[in-house]
Amino acid sequence: MKNIKAASLITAIKTPYNAQGEIDLVTYDQLVAQQIAAGVDGIVVGGTTGEGHLLSWEEHLMLIAHTVHQYSDKLIIIGNTGSNNTREAIKATKNGFAMGMDAALQINPYYGRTSMAGVAEHLNKVLEIGPAFIYNVPGRTGQDLTPDLIEPLSKHKNFIGVKECAGNERIAHYEQQGIACWSGNDDESYVGRHEFGSHGVISVTSNVVPSLMRTLMDTQNNELNERLKNLMTWLFCEPNPIAINTTLMMTGAVERNFRLPYVALTLEQRQQGFDLLSKFDTAELVGDKLALLKDSDFDYCS
């Protein structure tokens, strides 16, 4: 638990696909290797950015097992085994820990929402299995996990902390009580870390500029933060992970294969991103080239 709480930069890693729409493990390993080289502390496997919601549980757990087998001595491995179905979350989390993951990422039941009492029961059930981050993302779940829910949960022996998307004031409130928080909003993460006392960030942006995000978490560097702000804003011009997928295809880091319902950014949006990415040195980007790409360059699989 102490090692996990010391992590300040955790990447919500992208899941790449081959031409058949299957998980491309060779490319996945290349992406992870670049995260390790940049000094990232850990990765979330099959999170929102990793499209866990588009993976079957068999694929999802295979990817966790593969990651543990390859990288357990190099990274903290967090498996996104949360679900809106308590029974599924319990089963997936037990399997993830059996495969050797260090921690789980757990979310409150979404879409078929329950009461706050039901959320508490759900999260207590999965916390019993092993160490877990609680993920509060009201924009996706439609339900804010407020302090009156989180504070009692924080006393559980397996509670690590919160991936918090409700802003830095909330993060500061928790941190003042000794509740560990990681920013879930890249554009707020620098201020959250250096002014509001967060433990760090669980990042989308570090998929493409991990070394710069490492610097951003480690040092007070206002100039770098300003340099990255426009990129971070653009990476969320459409619901995540559409833009980060498109970006890694534009830099040549992954093959140009989407799983539906995700589709590439428009040409106009890609031009905006191309202009932003062109301001970075190639060595700062994951991938070895930068191209605008044509609409016909992208393939879509169901």
pLDDT tens for the chain, 302 residues: list them.
899 999 999 999 999 999 999 999 999 999 999 999 999 999 999 999 999 999 999 999 999 999 999 999 999 999 999 999 999 999 999 999 999 999 999 999 999 999 999 999 999 999 999 999 999 999 999 999 999 999 999 999 999 999 999 999 999 999 999 999 999 999 999 999 999 999 999 999 999 999 999 999 999 999 999 999 999 999 999 999 999 999 999 999 999 999 999 999 999 999 999 999 999 999 999 999 999 999 999 999 98
User: What type of residue sits at position 15?
Assistant: T
User: What type of residue sits at position 259?
Assistant: R
| Domains identified in the chain and CATH numbers | 2-220 (3.20.20.70)
Distance CA 132, CA 125 (A): 11
In contact, 235 and 209? CB cutoff 8 Å = no
pTM of structure:
0.98
- In this prediction, residue 270 carries a pLDDT of 98
Termini Cα distance of the chain: 39
Distance CA 124, CA 174 (A): 19
Distance CA 59, CA 14 (A): 14
Q: Hey, which residues are catalytic here?
A: 135, 163
- In this prediction, residue 205 carries a pLDDT of 98
Identify the CA nearest to 285 among candidates 206, 219, 226, 183.
206
Whole-number Cα distances in Å, 297 to 30, 141, 292: 22, 33, 10
- Give me the residue label for tokens 């879930």: 184
Helix (H) or strand (E) holding 12: strand 9-12
In contact, 276 and 232? CB cutoff 8 Å = no
- In this prediction, residue 1 carries a pLDDT of 86
In contact, 209 and 228? CB cutoff 8 Å = yes
Contacts of 80 (CB under 8 A, 6+ apart): 44, 45, 46, 47, 48, 50, 52, 60, 104, 105
Identify the CA nearest to 43 among candidates 31, 26, 55.
31
And the tokens for 226?
């300003």
